Amino acid sequence: MAKRAARVPNPESHERDLWRQMLLIRRFEERCVELYSAAKIRGFMHLYIGEEAVAVGVLQALGPADSVVATYREHGHALARGVSARLVMAEMLGKVEGCSGGRGGSMHLFDAATRFYGGNAIVGGGIPIAVGLALADALRSTGGVTACFFGEGAVAEGEFHESVNLASLWRLPVLFCCENNLYAMGTALARSESETNLAVKAAAYEVPAWSVDGMDVLAVEDAARRAVESVRAGGGPHFLELRTYRYRAHSMYDPELYRDKAEVELWRQRDPLDLLGARLTDAGVLDDAEKAALEAEVFAEIDDAVAFAEAGSFEPVEDLTRHVYSERRPS
C-alpha cells in the first residue's frame, strides 16, 4: 500500500463533491436494480456498488483532453467521467437517446464527447485499445493520458501482458487501473493466479506500480494524481492496483455460491461512502442535514434521468442495419 498521510478534508468541499459523486453512482445503480426487476433493463447488468471510490478517485486526476477505457462494469466510470445520468439511464433502457444510441446497453456505454471509449465486455479486450489511444496521444504530442480500467481477472489474459509490455517499451502515457475486487466472476484470485501480488506483474515490465486502498477515495485520488503527473511528465505507463470489493452479485444471474456473507459484511464495514462521510462529519464539513440534502439532490437527478429515459423512444426497426458501416465515405 502507498504510505501517504491521510488527507484532511478540504473545507472548499472538493471532498464533499467526491461523496456526492459516489452517492450518485450508488443510488443510480440501486434504481437500476428496481428497473431490472421491472424488466425495463435486460441483458447482463454488472453493479459497481462497493467500488465507487475507485472510478471517482482515479477520474479526478484526468482532464477533458484525456481518455478513458473501461469494462462492462462501467456505469460508475461513465457517471464519474461526466456522462450525464440521463444519457446513461436512457442507454440502460435501450432508448435511442442513450449515450450509445441504445445499441450498446449496460455493458457498452460510449461517449465521444467525454472521450469515454467503453464499455468493453471482453475481459482484457479494452487494454490494447487504451495503449493505442496513448500511442495516438504520443505521436500527436497532445499531452493526453489514457486511464484504462480492468479487473484483476484480466491480469490472467494475454492481452494484459502484451499491452503492458508494449506500453512500457514505447513509454506511452497510460495509467493502468486494476480494480482488484478479489473475484473474477466466481473465481477467487488465489484460485487463478500463481502470483497474487498484482503490482509485481506490472513491475516485471519496468512499469512503476503500487497498491492502493480502493475503499478510500482520497487515497485513490492521491495515488492517481501522483501517477498521472508522472505519466504526463513522460514517465511512461504506471500501474495502480486498487483493492476494492463488489458487494453485489457478479451480474443479475449470480447466486453467489463462491463466497461467504460474512466476507461481504466485513468489507461493508469499510464502505467508501461511510469512510469519507465520517471523515467529513468529523472535520465539520458535512453534517447529517447536509447529507440528507445531498441525498435529496441525487434522488432528484436520478428521477429526472429515469423520466428522461422513460420518455425516450426505441429506434425504428427500419434502422436495424445502421452503424455497421459509416454512412459517409469519401467518393
Partner 1 sequence: MKTTYREAMRAALREALRSDDRVFLMGEDVGRYGGCFAVSLGLLDEFGPERIRDTPLSESAFVGAGIGAALGGMRPIVEIMTVNFSLLALDQILNNAATLLHMSGGQLNVPLVIRMTTGAGRQLAAQHSHSLEGWYAHIPGIRIVTPATIEDARGMLATALDDPDPVLIFEHGSLYPMEGELADDAGAVDIDHAAVRRAGSDLTLITYGGTLFKTLEAAEELAGHGVSAEVVDLRTLRPLDTDALVASVARTHRAVVIDEGWRSGSISAEIAARLGESCFYELDAPIARVCSAEVPMPYPKHLEEAALPQVAGIVSAALATVG
Residue 150 backbone dihedrals phi, psi, to 5 degrees: -160, 160
In angstroms, rounded to a whole number, what is the distance separating the alpha carbons of residues 140 and 254?
A: 44
Find out whether 178 and 237 touch, Cβ atoms under 8 Å.
no
Distance CA 312, CA 87 (A): 10
Applying CB under 8 A, which part among 53-61, 70-78, 158-166, 231-239 lies near partner 1? Answer: 158-166
What is the pattern of x (binds partner 1, CB under 8 A) and - over residues 166-195?
x--xx-------------------------
Verify binding: residue 108, partner 1, rule CB under 8 A.
yes
Rounded Cα distance between 103 and 289, Å, is 41
Give yes or no for residue 162 binding partner 1 (CB under 8 A): yes
Residues 312 and 90 sit within 8 Å (Cβ to Cβ): yes
How near is the Cβ of 56 to partner 1 at its closest, in Å?
24
Of 262 and 320, which has the nearer Cβ to partner 1? 320
User: What residue has cell string 487463478?
Assistant: 192
Contact pick of 117, 149, 239, 245 for partner 1 (by CB under 8 A): 117
Do residues 260 and 230 make contact, with C-beta atoms less than 8 angstroms apart? no
Binding partner 1 (rule: CB under 8 A), the pick from 111, 152, 241, 301 is 111
Residue type for 136, please? A
Indicate if the alpha-carbon torsion angle 303, 246, 126, 222 is positive or negative: positive
Dihedral angle sign, alpha carbons of residues 181, 117, 177, 193? positive
Using DSSP's 3-state secondary structure scheme, residue 231 falls into helix
Mask 83-102, x = binds partner 1 (CB under 8 A)? Answer: ---------------xxxxx
Supply the minimum distance, in Å, between the C-beta of residue 139 and partner 1: 6
List the interface residues with partner 1, window 268-327 (CB under 8 A): 322-327
| Contact flag: residue 67 with partner 1 (CB under 8 A) | yes
Closer Cβ to partner 1, 18 or 131, answer by number: 131
Among residues 41, 134, 220, 275, the one that binds partner 1 under rule CB under 8 A = 134
The residue ranges that bind partner 1 (CB under 8 A) are: 67, 98-104, 108, 110-112, 117-120, 122, 125, 127-137, 139-140, 146, 158-159, 162-163, 165-166, 169-170, 322-330
